[in-house]
């Protein structure tokens, strides 16, 4: 088993390296940091621009392979280069990583759990009103782009706040700047800010997982082993959970890995719309400022996240399904 996981890890590591390399070459050839300096008033001399670009390792006169080599050399030592403004990418990442992870981790786990729950209920109460309702809602959410969901949520929060006359939900930033008060007060403030962005991610996740889980569960509901479990004397609900859900969870482990990439893309919009200074927002901003190093660093971050999601899903699969365990 350990050997199997090690091999998977190695596979994923190769994929991460490949994604990062491709990302660097793509960003390095399409983004144009030089334009940040050109057309300034007063104009900068070509030599001065080159010097500044060289200093940032962004000079397009240097062959891209050489620039990549320099950047990679830094990455190995934990230095991800400099942003276009000359700040350390590593430090900026340190500030932003927590913000993004908070959204992503809570979003994916909450979305997964609730999605499985909704899916199971839909299957057990197939063709009841709740099943139809969750089906319609899921398809509406799945076919709505994340940014629209986010904007609609914002609107809904605005109306709710106006209706109640209290600032119940906040929708800009991850905390209220300059807020004073005790620790509990601060935590509450963060939670209030967290609700809407998380919701914008979780809704899509619930919609996604619930459809798959409903199908997987329906397959299991008609199975002979569920009947055997009841014939042994297990109560229906107990059998549904212990024998039914346990088996129907197996395919979900695979979806978890596939879905994670989708989630990260969605989170970029969420961060941007709710004004969260996370990795996704940074990515969009870096592209507009021709910040090659930052763009590639975010690419690497996402690749590593997908790696972790993949490993988790492999582990979950092996834990759930004894038939794939290799001894």
Partner 1 sequence: MSEVLAVSELTVSFPSEAGPVRAVRGMSYSVSSGEVLGIVGESGSGKSVSALAVMGLLPRTARVGGSVRFHGRELLGLGDRELSAVRGKGISMVFQDPLSALTPVYTVGDQIAEAVSIHTDVSKNEAARRAVELLELVGIPEPAIRARAFPHEFSGGMRQRVMIAMAMANDPDVIIADEPTTALDVTIQAQILEVLGTAQEATGAAIVMITHDLGVVAGFADRVMVMYAGRPVEAGGVDDLFYRPRMPYTLGLLGSLPRLDATEREPLTPLEGSPPSLVGLPSGCPFVPRCPMRIDVCSDTEPPLAPTADPRHTAACHRRTEIEARELGPADIFPAPLVGAAAVARLPRESRQPVLEVRDLERHYPLMKGVVFRRQVGTVRAVDGVSFDIREGETLGLVGESGCGKTTTIVQILTLARPTAGTVVVLGRDSARLDRGERRALRRNLSVVFQDPLASLDPRLPVGDILSEGLRTHGVPKQRRNRRVGELLRLVGLGPEHASRYPQDFSGGQRQRIAIARALALEPRLVVLDEPVSALDVSIRAGVINLLEELRARLGLAYLFVAHDLSVVRHIADRVAVMYLGRIIESGAVSAVFDTPAHPYTEALLSAIPIPDPRRERARRRVLLEGDLPSPFDIPSGCRFRARCPRYAALPGGLGARCREEEPVRLPQGADHDAACHYPPAPAAI
- Give the binding site for partner 1 (CB under 8 A): 223-225, 227-236, 243, 246-247, 250, 320-323
CB closer to partner 1, 234 vs 287: 234
Give the bridge partners for 310, in sequence order. Answer: none
Place of tokens 């490949």: 18
**Ramachandran bin of 321, using left for φ above 0, alpha for ψ from -120 to 50, beta for the remaining angles:** beta
CB closer to partner 1, 63 vs 224: 224
Spatial separation of the C-alpha atoms in residues 265 and 280, rounded to whole Å: 8
Smallest CA-to-CA distance from 279 within 146, 89, 103, 97 is with 97
Min separation Cβ 210 and partner 1, Å: 22
**Collapsing DSSP states into helix, strand and coil, what is residue 82?**
strand
Min separation Cβ 246 and partner 1, Å: 6
Assess contact for 244 and 64: CB atoms under 8 A.
no
CB closer to partner 1, 28 vs 310: 310
CB closer to partner 1, 77 vs 323: 323
Give the bridge partners for 88, in sequence order. Answer: 82
CB closer to partner 1, 62 vs 230: 230
Min separation Cβ 6 and partner 1, Å: 14
Min separation Cβ 320 and partner 1, Å: 7
- The Cα angle at residue 264 between residues 144 and 142, in degrees rounded to 5: 20
CB closer to partner 1, 30 vs 237: 237
Min separation Cβ 218 and partner 1, Å: 13
Min separation Cβ 238 and partner 1, Å: 9
Spatial separation of the C-alpha atoms in residues 274 and 287, rounded to whole Å: 19
Min separation Cβ 239 and partner 1, Å: 9
Q: What is the 8-class DSSP label of residue 143?
A: T
- What angle, 0 to 180 degrees and rounded to 10, lies between the N-to-C axes of helices 250-274 and 279-288? 60
Smallest CA-to-CA distance from 105 within 221, 228, 205 is with 205
CB closer to partner 1, 10 vs 152: 10
């Amino acid at each position: 088993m350990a050997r199997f996981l090690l091999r998977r890890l190695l596979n994923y590591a190769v994929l991460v390296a490949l994604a990062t390399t491709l990302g660097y070459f793509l960003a390095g050839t399409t983004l144009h940091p030089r334009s940040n300096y050109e057309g300034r008033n007063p104009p900068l001399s070509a030599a001065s621009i080159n010097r500044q670009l060289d200093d940032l390792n962004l000079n397009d006169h240097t062959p891209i392979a050489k620039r990549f080599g320099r950047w990679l050399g830094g990455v190995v030592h934990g230095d991800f280069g400099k942003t276009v403004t000359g700040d350390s990418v590593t430090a900026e990442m340190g500030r932003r990583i927590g913000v993004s992870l908070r959204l992503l981790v809570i979003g994916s786990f909450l979305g997964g759990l609730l999605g499985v729950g909704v899916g199971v209920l839909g299957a057990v109460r197939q063709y009841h009103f709740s099943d139809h309702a969750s089906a319609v809602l899921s398809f509406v959410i799945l076919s709505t782009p994340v940014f629209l969901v986010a904007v609609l949520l914002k609107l809904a929060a605005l109306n709710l706040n106006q209706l109640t006359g209290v600032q119940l939900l906040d929708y800009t930033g991850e905390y209220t700047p300059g807020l004073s008060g005790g620790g509990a007060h601060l935590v509450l403030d963060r939670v209030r800010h967290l609700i809407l962005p998380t919701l914008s991610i979780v809704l899509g996740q619930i919609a996604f997982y619930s459809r798959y889980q409903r199908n997987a569960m329906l397959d299991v509901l008609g199975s002979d082993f569920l009947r055997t479990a009841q014939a042994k004397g297990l109560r229906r609900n107990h059998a549904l959970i212990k024998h039914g859900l346990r088996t129907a969870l197996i395919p979900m482990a695979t979806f978890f890995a596939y879905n994670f990439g989708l989630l990260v893309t969605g989170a970029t919009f969420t961060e941007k719309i709710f004004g969260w200074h996370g990795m996704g927002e940074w990515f969009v901003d870096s592209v507009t400022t021709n910040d090659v190093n930052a763009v590639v660093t975010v690419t690497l971050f996402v690749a590593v996240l997908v790696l972790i999601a993949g490993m988790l899903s492999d582990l979950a699969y092996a834990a759930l399904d004894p038939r794939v365990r290799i001894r």
